[in-house]
Amino acid sequence: MEARISRSYLSQLEKGAYYVSIKVIGRLADKLDVEPDEFLKRPVRRGRAG
């Protein structure tokens, strides 16, 4: 199964250049075998060692 999203578009999403649509979130979630809400959770902050 393909997500049908170009590498350049995905790169721009990662940089915050575009807002992602629900449709794209669904495609990525399907491809990565995760629930779509995983993309909406805040990242866990980890403390620095030492």
pLDDT at 42 over 70: yes
pLDDT at 47 over 90: no
3-state SS, one letter per residue, for the chain:
CCCCCCHHHHHHHHHCCCCCCHHHHHHHHHHHCCCHHHHCCCCCCCCCCC
Q: Give the pLDDT confidence of 12-30 residue by residue, as tens digits.
A: 988 999 998 999 999 999 9
Q: Provide the pLDDT for residue 35.
A: 96
**What is the domain partition of the chain in residue ranges?**
7-39
Please tell me whether the overall predicted TM-score, pTM, comes out greater than 0.85 for this model. Answer: no
